[in-house]
A and B are shown apart, each in its own frame.
Chain A
Amino acid sequence: MSEYASPDSLVSTDWVSQHLTDANVRVVEVDVDTNAYNEGHVPGAYAWAWNTQLCDTVRRDILTRKHFEKLMSETGISNSTTVILYGDSNNWFAAWALWQMKMYGHADVRIMNGGRKKWLAEAREVSRETPAPGAAKYDATGPDNSMRAFLDQVMAAYEGRSHQMVDVRSPAEFTGEILAPPGLPETCQRGGHIPHARNIPWGKACNDDGTFKSADELRALYGAEGIDGSKPVIAYCRIGERSSHTWFVLKYLLGFDRVTNYDGSWTEWGNLVGVPVERGVVAAKV
């Protein structure tokens, strides 16, 4: 069995339990909000809410460099801190945080394999105490937008067939049967997908316990749909967080060197006037 391309990008729940009091380690639970964190969390973990702390709340964008530095500082994270991210939904939003931290040049950020689900299922210790605000100096670099795809780049990639495009939403979203995940608000005018994209739902990269599948299994999963890294890859979903999970898998577990996350995703493309949209299932591989 082959190893992940960057095995150090993951830590186990055991590793975390052994480093809870390590002064150079900060554990952060990341989710769409902090409701789950408030129920009980990894002892000593901080909380970041995706919708208020990891996005620009005025314009649609990632955090500005200044706001990113402020968040790190307030969490007690310095440039040399080892940051362990985890969250609910198989680390869905933790991957978004990692993507953003990588763009701003943080050297040592990793994901707790299995996330909140595995920690709970293993009947581990949890806490309801919120750590005191941190106070650390943080100087970000970037953002390094080579990890990110913008609309004009995605359009050029579509027109030139220069990239492998992977739509990581559910099959029903991909075909246009539904405009948003079941139970969530519709946020686009049209359903379907970017023509030529392949549909590999993000969750297929995970085992039932929330951990990532093996490198061989992942290579087979993406390879079966023609996503093999021979061309640059663009991952997208609805709002860019599920695709940050796939971006992490392709870049750090499979070692693809040219993979970007299109965070505008379907809420951008599916609301544009005049762009090509395909509906239903498309069989042809890129």
Chain B
Amino acid sequence: MKVENHAERRIEIGGWEVNLRTYQIGETFYCKADNVSPGANIARSTGATRDEAEQKAISKATERLAATKRRAV
């Protein structure tokens, strides 16, 4: 199998920059969301289409990022 339709884009979720990387292997689209700084994986998802995979990743990432507290320094 070959990787197809690889693409990356950046979005903002709750004030946090998020990188979405999506690609297709076989019939399945995979999406990984990372938090850009520092680049840790915060969600992985699959879907039958790019949009479905991305929306699932965004949903999971939104939930996880909402738990991050900013403190005054």
- Interface check A181, CB cutoff 8 A: yes
How many Å lie between the Cα of A89 and that of B68 in the bound state? 20
B residues sitting closer than 8 Å to A (CB atoms) are 1-4, 6, 16, 21, 23, 25-26, 28, 30, 32, 34-35, 37-44, 46, 61, 64-65, 67-73
Q: Is the CB of B39 within 8 A of A178?
A: no
- Interface check A40, CB cutoff 8 A: yes
Across the interface, which residues of A come within 8 angstroms of B73, CB to CB? 175-177, 191-192, 279-280
Q: Is the CB of A39 within 8 A of B25?
A: yes
How many Å lie between the Cα of A179 and that of B30 in the bound state? 29
Extra 12 A-B pairs, beta carbons < 8 Å, given A40-B3, A88-B32, A88-B41? A89-B41, A169-B38, A170-B38, A175-B73, A177-B70, A178-B69, A181-B35, A181-B40, A183-B68, A184-B35, A184-B42, A201-B37
Q: Which 8 A-B pairs have the closest CB atoms?
A: A183-B42, A183-B64, A170-B37, A40-B25, A170-B38, A182-B35, A181-B40, A182-B16
A residues sitting closer than 8 Å to B (CB atoms) are 32, 35-36, 39-40, 88-90, 92, 117, 119-128, 169-173, 175-184, 186, 191-192, 201-203, 242, 279-280
Q: Is the CB of B34 within 8 A of A89?
A: yes
What is the chain B residue whose CB lies nearest that of A123?
A: B3
How many Å lie between the Cα of A180 and that of B4 in the bound state? 34
Q: Is the CB of A126 within 8 A of B68?
A: no
On whether A183 and B35 interact (CB within 8 A), knowing A39-B25, A178-B68, the answer reads yes
On whether A126 and B38 interact (CB within 8 A), knowing A39-B25, A182-B65, the answer reads no
Across the interface, which residues of A come within 8 angstroms of B41, CB to CB? 32, 88-89
Q: Is the CB of A127 within 8 A of B2?
A: no
Q: Is the CB of A203 within 8 A of B32?
A: no
Of A123, A192, A201, A202, the contact of B4 (CB 8 Å cutoff): A123
